[in-house]
C-alpha cells in the first residue's frame, strides 16, 4: 500500500517507563513515557489504534534465548545477586558491566518484548500495515548473554514471529551502534537480511565491518555501513536510499523491522552523529514508502528530551500527519526548555565522513547486493516449504490459516507470486528449495 494512508497500531504498557537502571547509567526507560505523553499531547492517538501490550512469557522468550539465561533473569534481584556471582559473570550482568541488575529487571524485559511480539502478530494477521513499539529495539542481547543495556532481544523474537508467515524479513537499524545481536542471530540465513548503519572504529560493540556480509546460506545477506563522527542528514540520505532501493529490488522482503535508535541524533549523550529529526525520520518515511508491513521499534537514545521528540515526530510521519513545531503542553513540558520546539538544529561541526569515503561504501554495498541476484541459492520466487512444521508450533487457529495462505502464495507481500507485479519464478514443482537452516529458525 505505498504512498496511501497505512493502518498504524501502537503498542504501549504504562509501567515500562518506571524502571530504573541506576543514577549514573545513561539508559533511562522514562524516555518512553515522555515520548508517549508527547504523542498523546499532539493528538496522534486519534489516528492510530492504541493497544496495551502483554508481558512476554518465558516460553515466548525461549524461541531465541536459552532457558538457563531466562531463568537467571527471572530470579536475580538487587537483594539476592550475591548468590549468583558465577552466573552474573557468565551472562554479562552486574555492577561492573553495561547491564546492571535493577529492581524489576525481568518484568521490564517482559514488557518491552511483549509489545514487539504483539506488533509482529498484528502484522502477521494483516490487521495493520505498521506496528509501533518505542520501548523495543534492544538489538545487542545474545542468546545467553546481556550486552550494551540489552537483556532480551525483542527484535530477534519479533523477526522469528514474522518468519512464521513471511518468507523473507528485512531488518534495518539506524541506531548509532551496530545491531550485532540481530546480525549474529541471522548471520547464516538468507531469510533475514540485516542492514545496519553505525559508527565504526573505537566504538561499542566493535562489530559491523563492511566486509562482514554473512556466512553459509546467509553470505551477502548482512549489510553493514561503517561510518564515522559528524554524519549529516544529506550524507546519511545519500547512503540510506540507494542501498535501500537495491535491497528492496534484490531481496523483496515480505515484512520489515525498523530499529529507530535515537542515539544517531545530534546532541546525543553517547552518540557522535549530527542528524536532525528530519534526517533521522527520512529513513522512516522512505521505508514506509515501500508499502511493506513494517514493525517500527525504538532502541538507544540518551538525551532523553530528544528521544521523545524523535519518536513522537516519527509516529506522525507514519501517520502522514504534520505536527506544529510548538511542543504542546504535557506532563513533561519543562524537559523541552528553553525553546519548547519539536525540531532540532544540527551542530556546526565537521562531517568526518567524506564524499569519497561515502562513495566507496556505497559502491561496495551495491556490488555486494548485485551479487545476490541470480545466485543459485537465492530462489527469490519461493516460499519456504516447511511452513507445515512452523504451523505446528503456532498458537492460534487463524495464524494457521494465514500460514497456509502464504504457502499457497495467496497472501499479500508475503513472498508468494501474488504480491509481485513484476512476476517471479518458482522452482519446477512450485515448492521451492529446502534450506538447511530453517529447522533452526522454527525454534
Ligand atoms: F557511559 C556509561 C555509563 C554507565 C554505564 C555504561 C556507560 C556506557 C557508555 N557506553 N557504556 C557504553 C557502551 N559500552 C562500552 C563497553 C564498556 N567497556 C568495557 C566497553 O563501551 C555500551 C553502549 C550501549 C549502546 C546501546 C544501544 O544504544 O545500542 C541500544 N540500543 O538499543 C538499546 C540500547
Ligand atoms: Ca545501527
Domain definitions of the chain by residue range:
8-441
> Known binder of ligand: residue 180?
no
Q: What 8-state DSSP symbol labels residue 252? A: -
Identify the residue whose C-alpha is closest to ligand 1 atom 34.
300
* Strand positions, DSSP E, 160-244: 169-173, 192-199, 222-227
CB 276 within 8 Å of CB 343 = yes
pLDDT in tens, the chain (443 residues): 555 689 999 999 999 999 999 999 999 999 999 999 999 999 999 999 999 999 999 999 999 999 999 999 999 999 999 999 999 999 999 999 999 999 999 999 999 999 999 999 999 999 999 999 999 999 999 999 999 999 999 999 999 999 999 999 999 999 999 999 999 999 999 999 999 999 999 999 999 999 999 999 999 999 999 999 999 999 999 999 999 999 999 999 999 999 999 999 999 999 999 999 999 999 999 999 999 999 999 999 999 999 999 999 999 999 999 999 999 999 999 999 999 999 999 999 999 999 999 999 999 999 999 999 655 444 555 444 433 223 233 333 332 222 222 222 333 322 232 222 112 222 222 222 222 222 222 22
Closest atom, ligand 1, to C-alpha of 203: 21
Is 268 a pocket residue for ligand 1 (Cβ < 6 Å)? no
173 C-beta closer than 6 A to ligand 1 = no
Task: Identify the residue whose C-alpha is closest to ligand 1 atom 17.
Answer: 98
Q: Is 24 in the pocket of ligand 1 (CB under 6 A)?
A: yes
Q: Show the CA angle centred on residue 287, arms to residues 390 and 216, nearest 5°.
A: 45
Which parts of 19-174 fold into alpha helices (H)? 30-41, 58-61, 67-75, 85-90, 105-124, 154-162
| CA-CA-CA-CA dihedral for 52, 53, 54, 59, to nearest 10 | 180
pLDDT of residue 393: 34
How far apart (Å, rounded) are the C-alpha atoms in residues 320 and 237? 20
Distance 248 CA to ligand 2 centre (A): 19
User: What 3-state class would DSSP assign to 279?
Assistant: helix
Kindly give the number of the ligand 1 atom that is closest to the alpha carbon of 301. 28
User: For residues 386 and 164, what is the distance between their CA atoms, to the nearest angstrom?
Assistant: 10
307-339 core/surface letters (b: 16 or more CB in 10 A; e: else): bbbbbbbbbbbbbeeebeeebbebebeebbeee
> Is 245 within any annotated ligand binding site?
no
CA-to-CA distance for 203 and 180, rounded, in angstroms? 13
Task: Tell which residue, 276, 286, 181, 209, has the closest CA to residue 244.
Answer: 286
| Any atom of ligand 1 within 6 Å of the Cβ of 136 | no
Length of the chain: 443
Whether the bond into 338 is cis, omega within 30 of 0: yes
Rounded-to-integer distance, Cα 182 and Cα 163, Å: 14
Check 140, 166, 198, 280 and give the catalytic one.
Answer: 140
- β-bridge partners, 192: 169
**pLDDT for position 179:** 99
**Residue 112 annotated as binding site:** no
Asked whether the bond before 205 is cis by omega within 30 degrees of 0, the reply is: yes
Q: Residue 100 half-sphere exposure, CB side, CA atoms within 13 Å?
A: 16
Is 54 considered catalytic here? no
Task: For domain 8-441, say whether CATH 3.40.800.20 is its number.
Answer: yes
Using CA of residue 176, residue 180, residue 181, residue 183, what is the dihedral sign? positive
Phi, psi of 376 (to 5 degrees): -55, -35
177 annotated to a ligand binding site: yes
And the C-alpha cell for 78? 538487587
Nearest CA to 279 among 289, 266, 298? 266
Torsion (CA) 440, 125, 223, 289 in degrees, nearest 10: 170
Q: Output Rg (C-alpha) for the chain, integer angstroms.
A: 21
Q: What is the pLDDT of residues 395-422, one digit of tens each?
A: 333 322 222 222 223 333 222 322 221 1
What is the sign of the dihedral through the CA atoms of 378, 382, 385 and 388?
A: positive
Taking the centre of ligand 2 as the mean of its atom positions, its distance from the CA of residue 173, in whole angstroms, is: 4
DSSP 8-state secondary structure symbol assigned to residue 170:
E
List residues, by chain if needed, whose CB lies under 5 Å from ion ligand 2: 173, 175, 196, 198
So what's the pLDDT on residue 5? 85
The pLDDT value given to residue 147 = 99
pLDDT at 332: 98
| 263 has binding-site annotation | yes
Q: Find the 410 Cα to ligand 2 centroid distance in Å.
A: 34
Convert the pLDDT of each residue in 213-265 to its tens digit. 999 999 999 999 999 999 999 999 999 999 999 999 999 999 999 999 999 99
Ligand 1 centre to CA of 204 (Å) is: 7
Residue 411 contacts residue 165 (beta carbons within 8 Å): yes
Which among 335, 339, 338, 275 is positioned nearest to 310, based on CA atoms?
275
Amino acid at each position: 500500500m505505498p504512498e496511501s494512508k497505512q493502518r498504524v497500531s501502537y503498542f504501549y504498557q504504562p509501567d515500562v517507563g518506571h524502571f530504573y537502571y541506576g543514577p549514573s547509567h545513561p539508559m533511562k526507560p522514562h524516555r518512553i513515557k515522555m515520548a508517549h505523553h508527547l504523542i498523546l499531547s499532539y493528538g496522534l492517538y486519534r489516528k492510530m489504534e492504541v493497544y496495551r501490550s502483554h508481558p512476554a512469557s518465558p516460553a515466548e522468550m525461549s524461541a531465541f534465548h536459552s532457558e538457563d539465561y531466562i531463568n537467571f533473569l527471572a530470579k536475580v534481584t538487587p537483594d539476592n545477586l550475591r548468590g549468583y556471582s558465577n552466573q552474573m559473570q557468565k551472562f554479562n550482568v552486574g555492577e561492573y558491566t553495561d547491564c546492571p541488575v535493577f529492581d524489576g529487571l525481568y518484568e521490564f524485559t517482559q514488557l518491552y518484548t511483549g509489545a514487539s511480539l504483539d506488533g509482529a502478530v498484528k502484522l502477521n494477521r494483516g490487521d495493520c500495515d505498521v506496528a509501533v513499539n518505542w520501548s523495543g529495539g534492544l538489538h545487542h542481547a545474545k542468546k545467553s548473554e546481556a550486552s550494551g543495556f540489552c537483556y532480551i532481544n525483542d527484535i530477534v523474537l519479533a523477526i522469528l514471529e514474522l518468519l512464521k508467515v513471511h518468507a523473507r524479513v528485512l531488518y534495518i537499524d539506524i541506531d548509532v551502534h551496530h545491531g550485532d545481536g540481530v546480525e549474529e542471530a541471522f548471520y547464516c540465513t538468507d531469510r533475514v537480511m540485516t542492514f545496519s548503519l553505525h559508527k565504526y572504529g573505537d566504538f561499542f560493540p566493535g562489530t559491523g565491518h563492511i566486509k562482514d556480509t554473512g556466512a553459509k546460506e546467509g553470505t551477502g545477506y548482512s549489510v553493514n555501513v561503517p561510518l564515522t563522527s559528524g554524519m549529516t542528514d544529506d550524507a546519511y540520505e545519500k547512503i540510506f536510499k540507494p542501498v535501500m532501493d537495491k535491497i528492496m529490488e534484490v531481496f523483496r522482503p515480505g515484512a520489515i523491522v525498523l530499529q529507530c535508535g535515537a542515539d544517531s541524533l545530534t546532541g546525543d549523550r553517547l552518540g557522535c552523529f549530527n542528524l536532525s529529526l528530519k534526517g533521522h525520520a527520512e529513513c522512516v518515511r522512505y521505508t514506509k514508502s515501500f508499502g511493506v508491513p513494517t514493525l517500527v521499534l525504538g532502541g538507544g537514545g540518551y538525551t532523553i528530551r530528544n528521544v521523545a521528540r524523535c519518536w513522537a515526530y516519527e509516529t506522525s510521519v507514519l501517520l502522514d500527519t504534520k505536527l506544529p513545531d510548538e511542543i504542546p503542553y504535557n506532563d513533561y513540558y519543562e524537559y523541552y526548555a528553553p525553546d519548547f520546539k519539536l525540531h532540532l538544529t544540527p551542530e556546526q561541526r565537521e562531517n568526518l565522513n567524506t564524499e569519497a569515503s561515502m562513495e566507496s561504501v556505497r559502491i561496495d554495498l551495491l556490488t555486494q547486493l548485485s551479487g545476490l541476484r541470480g545466485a543459485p541459492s537465492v530462489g527469490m520466487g519461493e516460499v519456504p516449504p516447511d511452513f507445515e512444521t512452523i504451523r505446528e508450533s503456532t498458537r492460534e487457529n487463524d495464524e494457521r490459516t494465514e500460514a497456509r495462505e502464504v504457502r499457497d502464495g495467496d497472501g499479500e507481500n508475503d513472498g508468494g507470486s501474488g504480491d509481485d507485479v513484476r512476476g517471479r519464478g518458482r522452482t519446477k514443482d512450485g515448492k521451492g528449495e529446502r534450506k538447511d537452516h530453517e529447522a533452526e529458525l522454527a525454534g
